[in-house]
Amino acid sequence: MSKTFTPSIATPAVITANDLRMGHCVWMRDGGWTADPREAQLFEDEAIAEIAMLDAIGQANLVVGPYLAEARRGPDGRPEPTHFREAFRRRGPSNYFHGIQAELEASNV
Protein backbone atom coordinates (compact mmCIF):
# COMPACT_ATOMS: atom_id res chain seq x y z
CA MET A 1 0.00 0.00 0.00
CA SER A 2 1.27 3.43 -0.81
CA LYS A 3 2.49 5.35 2.19
CA THR A 4 1.31 8.83 3.04
CA PHE A 5 3.71 11.38 1.74
CA THR A 6 3.98 14.91 0.41
CA PRO A 7 4.45 15.22 -3.32
CA SER A 8 7.52 17.17 -4.28
CA ILE A 9 10.10 17.24 -7.04
CA ALA A 10 12.04 14.61 -5.07
CA THR A 11 8.96 12.43 -4.50
CA PRO A 12 6.46 12.99 -7.30
CA ALA A 13 3.03 11.39 -7.26
CA VAL A 14 0.10 10.46 -9.42
CA ILE A 15 -3.53 10.34 -8.37
CA THR A 16 -5.12 6.98 -8.96
CA ALA A 17 -8.48 5.37 -8.19
CA ASN A 18 -10.90 2.74 -9.48
CA ASP A 19 -13.62 3.41 -12.02
CA LEU A 20 -16.97 3.36 -10.24
CA ARG A 21 -18.96 1.41 -12.81
CA MET A 22 -16.32 -0.95 -14.15
CA GLY A 23 -13.91 -1.22 -11.24
CA HIS A 24 -10.70 -0.95 -13.24
CA CYS A 25 -7.73 1.23 -12.30
CA VAL A 26 -7.71 4.80 -13.52
CA TRP A 27 -5.29 7.68 -13.21
CA MET A 28 -5.99 11.38 -13.14
CA ARG A 29 -4.82 13.31 -16.14
CA ASP A 30 -5.32 16.86 -17.14
CA GLY A 31 -9.04 17.21 -17.60
CA GLY A 32 -10.23 13.81 -16.50
CA TRP A 33 -9.34 10.18 -15.89
CA THR A 34 -7.48 7.70 -18.02
CA ALA A 35 -7.00 3.94 -17.96
CA ASP A 36 -3.53 4.44 -19.44
CA PRO A 37 -1.07 5.15 -16.59
CA ARG A 38 1.41 6.68 -19.01
CA GLU A 39 -1.04 9.53 -19.51
CA ALA A 40 -1.26 10.27 -15.79
CA GLN A 41 -0.45 13.74 -14.54
CA LEU A 42 2.69 13.79 -12.40
CA PHE A 43 2.41 16.03 -9.36
CA GLU A 44 5.59 17.55 -8.02
CA ASP A 45 4.02 20.34 -6.01
CA GLU A 46 2.18 19.75 -2.74
CA ALA A 47 -0.36 22.53 -3.16
CA ILE A 48 -1.31 21.54 -6.69
CA ALA A 49 -1.60 17.91 -5.67
CA GLU A 50 -3.81 18.83 -2.75
CA ILE A 51 -6.20 20.75 -4.96
CA ALA A 52 -6.22 17.90 -7.48
CA MET A 53 -7.02 15.41 -4.71
CA LEU A 54 -9.96 17.56 -3.61
CA ASP A 55 -11.11 17.57 -7.22
CA ALA A 56 -10.75 13.78 -7.38
CA ILE A 57 -12.70 13.26 -4.19
CA GLY A 58 -15.41 15.45 -5.65
CA GLN A 59 -15.78 13.11 -8.61
CA ALA A 60 -17.35 10.30 -6.59
CA ASN A 61 -19.83 9.78 -9.41
CA LEU A 62 -16.92 8.56 -11.56
CA VAL A 63 -14.28 7.01 -9.34
CA VAL A 64 -13.86 5.20 -6.02
CA GLY A 65 -11.08 5.64 -3.47
CA PRO A 66 -8.71 8.16 -5.08
CA TYR A 67 -5.28 8.35 -3.48
CA LEU A 68 -1.83 9.72 -4.09
CA ALA A 69 0.63 7.09 -5.25
CA GLU A 70 4.34 7.76 -5.28
CA ALA A 71 5.82 7.79 -8.76
CA ARG A 72 8.92 8.89 -10.59
CA ARG A 73 9.54 10.58 -13.87
CA GLY A 74 10.68 8.03 -16.43
CA PRO A 75 13.23 8.55 -19.18
CA ASP A 76 10.48 9.67 -21.55
CA GLY A 77 9.12 12.08 -18.97
CA ARG A 78 6.08 9.94 -18.26
CA PRO A 79 5.29 8.71 -14.74
CA GLU A 80 6.50 5.32 -13.58
CA PRO A 81 5.58 3.48 -10.38
CA THR A 82 8.05 3.25 -7.54
CA HIS A 83 6.31 0.45 -5.63
CA PHE A 84 5.49 -3.01 -6.93
CA ARG A 85 1.85 -2.68 -5.92
CA GLU A 86 1.40 0.24 -8.26
CA ALA A 87 3.32 -1.63 -10.95
CA PHE A 88 0.82 -4.51 -10.65
CA ARG A 89 -2.08 -2.10 -10.85
CA ARG A 90 -0.67 -0.86 -14.14
CA ARG A 91 0.06 -4.16 -15.77
CA GLY A 92 -2.73 -6.34 -14.37
CA PRO A 93 -2.46 -9.75 -12.73
CA SER A 94 0.60 -11.88 -13.42
CA ASN A 95 -1.32 -15.09 -14.18
CA TYR A 96 -3.56 -13.81 -16.97
CA PHE A 97 -3.26 -10.83 -19.24
CA HIS A 98 -6.69 -9.59 -18.28
CA GLY A 99 -8.39 -6.36 -17.48
CA ILE A 100 -8.32 -2.90 -18.89
CA GLN A 101 -4.66 -3.28 -19.80
CA ALA A 102 -5.45 -6.18 -22.12
CA GLU A 103 -8.38 -4.30 -23.59
CA LEU A 104 -6.23 -1.25 -24.25
CA GLU A 105 -3.57 -3.33 -25.91
CA ALA A 106 -6.14 -5.11 -28.04
CA SER A 107 -7.65 -1.79 -29.09
CA ASN A 108 -4.19 -0.51 -30.10
CA VAL A 109 -3.48 -3.47 -32.38
Partner 1 sequence: MFDARPQHNEYLRHRAQQFRSQVARRLDGSLTEDEFKPLRLMNGVYLQLHAYMLRVAIPYGTISPDQMRTLALLAEKWDKGYGHWTTRQNIQYNWPKLVDIPDMLDALADVGLHAIQTSGNTIRNVTTDAYAGAAADEVVDPRPYAELLRAWSTDHAEFQFLPRKFKIAISGGEKDRAVIAAHDIGLRLRRNEAGELGFQVWIGGGLGRTPILGQVVREFLPEADLLPYVEAIISAYNLAGRRDNKYKARIKITVAERGLDVMRDEIEAEFLNRRAVFTGVDQDMVAEFRAVYAAPAFRNETDGDYEERRAASVGFRSWTDTNLSTHKAPGYASVMVTFKAPGQTPGDASADQMRLLADLAERYGHADLRISHDQNVVLPHVHKSDLFALYSELKAAGLATANAGLVSDIVACPGMDYCALATARSIPIAQEIADHFRARDIEDEIGKIDIRISGCINACGHHHLGHIGILGLDRAGVENYQITLGGDGYDIPAIGQRPGAGFPAEEVVPAIDRIINTYLDLRDSAEERFIDAYRRVGAAPFKAALYPVNA
Could you tell me which of 17, 43, 56, 64 has the C-alpha nearest to residue 27?
17
Closest distance of CB 52 from partner 1, Å? 19
Closest distance of CB 60 from partner 1, Å? 6
Contact residues toward partner 1 (CB under 8 A) are: 1, 18, 20-25, 60-61, 64-65, 82-85, 88-89, 92-96, 98-100
User: How far is residue 78's CA from residue 94's CA, in Å, rounded to a whole number?
Assistant: 23
Q: Which CB sits closer to partner 1, 73 or 88? A: 88
